[in-house]
A and B are shown apart, each in its own frame.
Chain A
Amino acid sequence: MKDKIAEKILLFIALSAILSLALITFFIFQQGIPLIFKAGLANFFSLKWAPTRAGFGILSMIIGSLMVTVGALAVGVPFGLAGAIFLAEFSSKTIQKTLKPIIELLAGIPSVVYGFIGIVILVPFIRNTFGGPGFSVLAASIILGIMILPTIVSISYDALLAVPTTYREGSYAVGATKWQTVVMLLIPAARSGIVAGIILGMGRAIGETMAVIMIAGNALKIPGSIFDSVRTLTSTIALELGYAAGDHRAALFACGSILFLIIIVLNIFAIRITGRK
């Protein structure tokens, strides 16, 4: 009897979580999608963003969002994976117990702090070293890459630790070195966890707003190089929603819808990769 009640309550909670998610999705699409058809696909996927004068082209922002996300992964994945491997396989229990919580703490630092560090240190460094404005794809990629490190490290670390120790013994027993064991056995065995960590990191990178606004420069054009300024979908929404009205406001919701679709597509890809045997 008690079990039945608990089951009902849990079901209710689960359903309301799903329902609110569905409502948010519905709201965003309902606000944004009509504008896409009103403006026409050609206008919407063009380069001209002048939402008060019926120019709704968001192409440069889509490309901007993708560029900083790919950049963030290029920074975050190798370092994150290396960190996880080092922690899980090459360090003592004491080091693991000290470093893991510290790394996880990094995830709790507000993004405005990361943005601030970017402005104070990274942007001037890039400007002085490579020229250009400093506020750039590169700056955003590096900061986002660092921001997604904790996610990638801690999830990949858990996945590596979850690989049974007997696999390691079996591998050493046939003469594998530590590296061979990591590369040929542990990473493949932990693959789904590692990919999950990367997806979560990617979601964080593509959705991150504050830090990106602060260091990406937000210029409305497709960057010619990684040293150029860039504007993302999220930055546009955050920068303009405060004063937008009418079609302009709807266009920002359309940006949100596109962001949503991109994330769904990326997730489907990732699930495909993980599921492949």
Chain B
Amino acid sequence: MAKISIRELNLYYNDHQALKSINLDVENKEIMAVIGPANSGKSSLLRALNRLYEIDYARITGKILLDGKDIFEIPINDLRRRIGIVFATPVVLPGSIRKNLSYGPKLHRRIGKSEVDDLVYNALTSANLWDEVKDRLEDSAARLSGGQQQRLCIARALAMQPEVILMDEPCSGLDPVSTAKIEATMLELKKDYTFILVTNNTKQAARVSDRTAFFLLGELIEIGKTQKLFTSPTDTRTDDYIRGRFG
């Protein structure tokens, strides 16, 4: 069974339709890349999956299933615990590195100090950030570099012990070294988590993903094995986009 099944999904902002009859299965523990030009609905797709679109006052029709269960039947805080998200610009919360990591878990249950210690260590280690920040866990998270902040955001998603991690252009503002670190992190974490990676960087999609979906103006144009999609796409629009012949 697919980890996430999307059936006939439409998403509207007022009158504007940002997603049009999307049908898509995301397999367990794969990295699925989502590519496409600006305004093709990539972010909207991610925000539909964890129901974050609701804070934008958007509306959806269709079905989204997580492990076969309708996401609207899962309590919203549980859904968002199971499906984490990392945004394009790193969103660190005010306060220390440690507080950034314990914020989410503390919303859901009471946890003691030693459990927080473990959680901080595990999340930072998994996000490849532990060595760089282990001596300054109480420092303000805002003082980290951009790349470190983004890895902190990944760690914060991991601290929730999610099943799926959505990434919305996580490397768009980062230098090549930080980008490489984040890609390496994803490849390591892949054995335990399912990823959906929105990226503007087709090379990045090619480097890390198993499958790639190409979106254009709210429609899913083509989906297939990454290798195949990049070498011999079936749709000419996909071909145009990956060859950079596109606006």
A contact set with B: CB distance below 8 Å: 166-177, 180, 184-185, 188-189
Contact = CB atoms under 8 A, between A and B. Distances in A.
Contacts of B107: 174-176, 180, 184
Interface string B85-97: 1010101111100
B151 interface: no
B93 A167 contact: yes
B52 A171 contact: no
B156 interface: yes
B93 A175 contact: no
Interface stretch (B31-39, B74-82, B235-243): B74-82
B80 A174 contact: yes
B55 A172 contact: yes
B94 A172 contact: no
Query: Which residue, B93, B108, B153, has most C-beta atoms of chain A within 10 A?
Result: B93
B103 interface: yes
A169 B91 CA distance: 8
Contacts of A189: 94
Given A168-B55, A169-B55, A174 B91 contact: no
A174 B52 contact: no
Contacts of B108: 175
Contacts of A173: 50, 52, 80, 84-85, 87, 91
Given A166-B89, A167-B91, A170-B91, A175 B104 contact: yes
Contacts of A180: 107
Contacts of A167: 91, 93-94
Contacts of A177: 76-77
B55 A174 contact: no
Contacts of A169: 52, 55, 87, 91
Interface string B51-85: 01001000000000000000000001111110011
A175 B160 contact: yes
Interface of B: 50, 52, 55, 76-81, 84-85, 87, 89, 91-95, 103-104, 106-108, 153, 156-157, 160
A102 to B, nearest CB: 25
Nearest to A185: B93
* Residue in A171, A172, A184 with the greatest tally of chain B CB atoms within 10 Å: A172
A169 B80 CA distance: 12
A170 to B, nearest CB: 4
A176 B93 CA distance: 13
A171 B91 CA distance: 9
Contacts of B157: 174
Contacts of A175: 76-81, 104, 107-108, 160
A175 B94 CA distance: 17
B104 A174 contact: yes
A174 B160 contact: yes
A93 to B, nearest CB: 11
Given A167-B94, A185-B93, A189-B94, A172 B104 contact: no
A174 to B, nearest CB: 3
A172 B103 CA distance: 11
B87 A174 contact: no
A174 B84 contact: yes
Nearest to A186: B94
Closest 3 CB pairs of A and B: A174-B104, A175-B80, A175-B77
Given A168-B55, A176-B77, A185-B94, 15 more contacts: A170-B91, A170-B92, A170-B156, A173-B84, A173-B85, A173-B87, A173-B91, A174-B80, A174-B84, A174-B104, A175-B77, A175-B81, A185-B93, A185-B103, A188-B94
A189 B92 CA distance: 12
Given A174-B107, A185-B93, A189-B94, A166 B87 contact: yes
Contacts of B89: 166
A168 B93 CA distance: 9
B141 to A, nearest CB: 11
B87 A171 contact: no
Contacts of B91: 166-167, 169-170, 173
A184 B108 CA distance: 13
Nearest to B75: A175
A169 B157 CA distance: 13
A70 B107 CA distance: 33
Nearest to B105: A174
Contacts of B80: 172-175
B74 to A, nearest CB: 11
Contacts of B84: 173-174
Contacts of B92: 170
A175 B78 CA distance: 7
Contacts of A166: 87, 89, 91
